Copies of this chain bind each other. A is one copy, B any other.
Amino acid sequence: MTTTSPLLQRLGVALPIVQGPMTGSDTPQLAAAVSNAGGLGFLGCGMRAPAAMLEAAAAVRAATSRPFGMNLFVLPTPQPAAAEVDAALARLAPLYARFGLAAQAPARWCEDFAAQLDALVAARPAVASFTFGILSAAQVRRVKSEAGSLVIGVATTVAEALAWQDVGADAVVASGMEAGGHRGTFLAQSADDWEASQVGTMALVPACVDALAIPVIAAGGIADARGVAAALALGAQAAQLGTAFLACPESAISAAQRAAMARAQAGDTRITRVFSGRPARGIQNQAMRSLTPQADAIPAYPIQNALMGPVRRAAAQAGDADYIALWAGQGVGLVRARPAAELVRALLPQ
């Protein structure tokens, strides 16, 4: 692990440890702590406004001189019909009522991706990673030349990994179905395609390594030193961990989510689209159970995500883990909560 792979040299980091960008739950403190410990810290910027992205990047730089990454959701802003929004709001009425919230559409569905990409280029992170979609070759060239960033694409299948290689990505995160939070899947056209994209890390990583000329970073179900060693044995040049870093005191999750994570095992997690309209893995709770019968009807990301936002925030404030999206991967039972620097050290061969 002390021999530095070509990818680590290009990333400018000592250790093959990447902190998953946990949009909404990350903090500049967490990213800086990981980078200071020799890994690659990440800001999950999918839901950050451009100004907040620059602010967060500055906060990381104030705490570390080491490289770090920024991640974006590649996502068009939707223009849903009023009837679709009304139907979705009606479906959520019991949840809004539960927390005394007015059922109404939000001021915006998501951040504007073009503006976020401009902000990322202005922030010039050492690494820029992208999920939910794919950049054009021209966009990849721009991020490389104007921001000087290494470009990493998230893939859940070999086809998606090849697509990222084709547009000029420097590396791919191969994200197995064990991973927590949103699936990065972007080539699926049908429910069956989404199912086909649920490949375990053990099979996905070597298949991507064989198919690609660029380095592969393994993600999904990796939560301790054994998982990191296994990822490298599979041919990955680094391992990306989300859930393990989510449990660090430096993350932004609520006390209720922290407590739920501490109790959870792999079998307590499910892949669901009820919280956001996009398949994502989290710990099963009452909201997941009660919304699942309607899962096929709810609107796609980011519409459902925006409509559920007030419920999730109110639940977090109320300390009610039954209505938070408790994103976590199947490695959750292996996680021990500890400061990020201590975690990074514990991920090395013991």
Interface residues in chain A, defined as those with a beta carbon under 8 Å from any beta carbon in chain B: 157-159, 176-178, 195-197, 199-204, 206-207, 209-210, 220-224, 226-227, 229-231, 233-235, 265-268, 270, 284, 329-331, 333-334
Please, how many angstroms separate the alpha-carbon atoms of A200 and B203 in the complex? 10
Most chain B C-beta atoms within 10 Å of own C-beta, residue among A199, A227, A284: A199
Q: Which residues of B contact A197 (CB under 8 A)?
A: 267
Please, how many angstroms separate the alpha-carbon atoms of A207 and B197 in the complex? 24
Nearest-CB residue, chain B, relative to A331: B203
Q: Are B200 and A330 in contact (CB under 8 A)?
A: yes
CB distance from A180 to the nearest CB of B (A): 11
CB distance from A177 to the nearest CB of B (A): 6
Q: Are A267 and B196 in contact (CB under 8 A)?
A: yes
Q: Which residues of B contact A266 (CB under 8 A)?
A: 157-158, 199, 203-204, 207
Q: Are A334 and B206 in contact (CB under 8 A)?
A: yes
Q: Are B196 and A334 in contact (CB under 8 A)?
A: no
Q: Are B221 and A226 in contact (CB under 8 A)?
A: no
Nearest-CB residue, chain B, relative to A270: B195
Within 8 Å by CB of A220, from B200, B220, B235, lies: B200
Q: Please, could you name 21 A-B residue pairs with CB atoms under 8 Å apart, sorted by A?
A: A158-B333, A176-B200, A177-B200, A178-B200, A195-B270, A197-B267, A200-B200, A200-B202, A201-B221, A202-B222, A202-B230, A203-B223, A203-B266, A203-B330, A203-B331, A204-B266, A206-B334, A207-B265, A229-B233, A229-B234, A230-B231
Please, how many angstroms separate the alpha-carbon atoms of A226 and B210 in the complex? 11
The 3 closest A-B pairs by CB, nearest first: A202-B221, A203-B330, A203-B221
Known: A226-B234, A330-B203, A334-B206. A158 touches B220 (CB 8 A): no
Please, how many angstroms separate the alpha-carbon atoms of A331 and B199 in the complex? 9
Within 8 Å by CB of A221, from B200, B223, B227, B268, lies: B200
Please, how many angstroms separate the alpha-carbon atoms of A330 and B156 in the complex? 13
Q: Which residues of B contact A223 (CB under 8 A)?
A: 203, 206
Q: Which residues of B contact A159 (CB under 8 A)?
A: 267
Q: Are A202 and B270 in contact (CB under 8 A)?
A: no
Q: Are B157 and A176 in contact (CB under 8 A)?
A: no
Please, how many angstroms separate the alpha-carbon atoms of A176 and B235 in the complex? 20
Q: Which residues of B contact A227 (CB under 8 A)?
A: 202, 206, 234
Q: Are B234 and A230 in contact (CB under 8 A)?
A: yes
Please, how many angstroms separate the alpha-carbon atoms of A284 and B334 in the complex? 33
Q: Are B222 and A226 in contact (CB under 8 A)?
A: no
Besides A157-B266, A196-B284, A197-B267, 12 other CB < 8 A contacts? A158-B267, A200-B202, A200-B220, A203-B221, A203-B329, A203-B331, A206-B223, A206-B224, A207-B265, A226-B233, A226-B234, A233-B233
Q: Which residues of B contact A265 (CB under 8 A)?
A: 158, 207
Please, how many angstroms separate the alpha-carbon atoms of A222 and B230 in the complex? 12
Q: Which residues of B contact A233 (CB under 8 A)?
A: 226, 229-230, 233
CB distance from A291 to the nearest CB of B (A): 14
Within 8 Å by CB of A334, from B210, B221, B231, lies: B210
Please, how many angstroms separate the alpha-carbon atoms of A333 and B157 in the complex? 12
Most chain B C-beta atoms within 10 Å of own C-beta, residue among A209, A227, A230, A334: A230
Q: Which residues of B contact A206 (CB under 8 A)?
A: 223-224, 226-227, 334
